[in-house]
Amino acid sequence: MKIALLGYGKMGHTIEKIAIERGHTISHAINIDNQQELALVSSETTDVAIEFSEPGSAFGNISHCLKNNVPLVCGTTGWLDKLPEVKRLCEQQQGAFFYASNFSIGVNIFFRLNEILAGMMNDFPEYDVEMEEIHHIHKKDAPSGTAITLAEGIIQHLQNKKSWELDKKSAKEALPIFSKREGEVPGTHTVTFRSGVDDIEIKHTAHSRHGFALGAVKVAEWLPGKKGVLNMNDFLKL
């Protein structure tokens, strides 16, 4: 399979290594230094694109692929205000677009555990909930996309939380998310339900980027031939 890499930083390099090990070829590797080569990405040169760039580039990359009939796997966060436009474009082009805030199998199991725990805690209002996420110092958006997905899962299942807020704890109905940027941390997410007598904590710690990258390549292998806007629930059948 011919894979285009849109975004060729540390994650892009890890994806490239795994893709080649699994028998694929890289049709294009595009970053800020050769953005003009995006025009060369088409269904003639590329079977699927994997997009791990940055928030300011993601929408342009996604739009180009959909308009050129290239199925796209996207893991870039911080651009989701444009997701409704992407959904409309995907429908118009009858294309395939796959988005996940995190491609790790472990994280997606963690998402489900988070939802189950939040639902259970409706019967125990003496517990309040907060979240902490830690990432490497190069990450440009905060909170992380993974933290936002966790927050959405809590808000959907815990009746007394209606929104989330970043790095503060001011509104009773808002879930506080505390973001830290430290060294080269791949990603650590902790959800804590705290009462006056004890804490209940669930935590996911990534040891490297390998799990994220492998998941993205596996999705890229699965996506060609599919239609519509898809996510990890479709892929994992959770």
Catalytic residues: 135, 139
Question: What one-character-per-residue DSSP string does 201-231 give?
Answer: EEEEE--SSHHHHHHHHHHHHH-TT--EEE-
Q: Parallel, antiparallel, or unpaired for β 174-181 and 128-135?
A: parallel
Alpha-helical runs (H) found in 5-104: 10-21, 55-67, 83-93
Query: Alpha-carbon distance 98 to 198, whole Å?
Result: 40
Query: Alpha-carbon distance 159 to 192, whole Å?
Result: 16
Task: Name the token pair of 133.
Answer: 């996420």
Residues 50 and 30: beta-carbon distance below 8 Å: no
| Residue 4, burial from CB neighbour count under 10 angstroms (0-12, 13-18, 19+) | buried
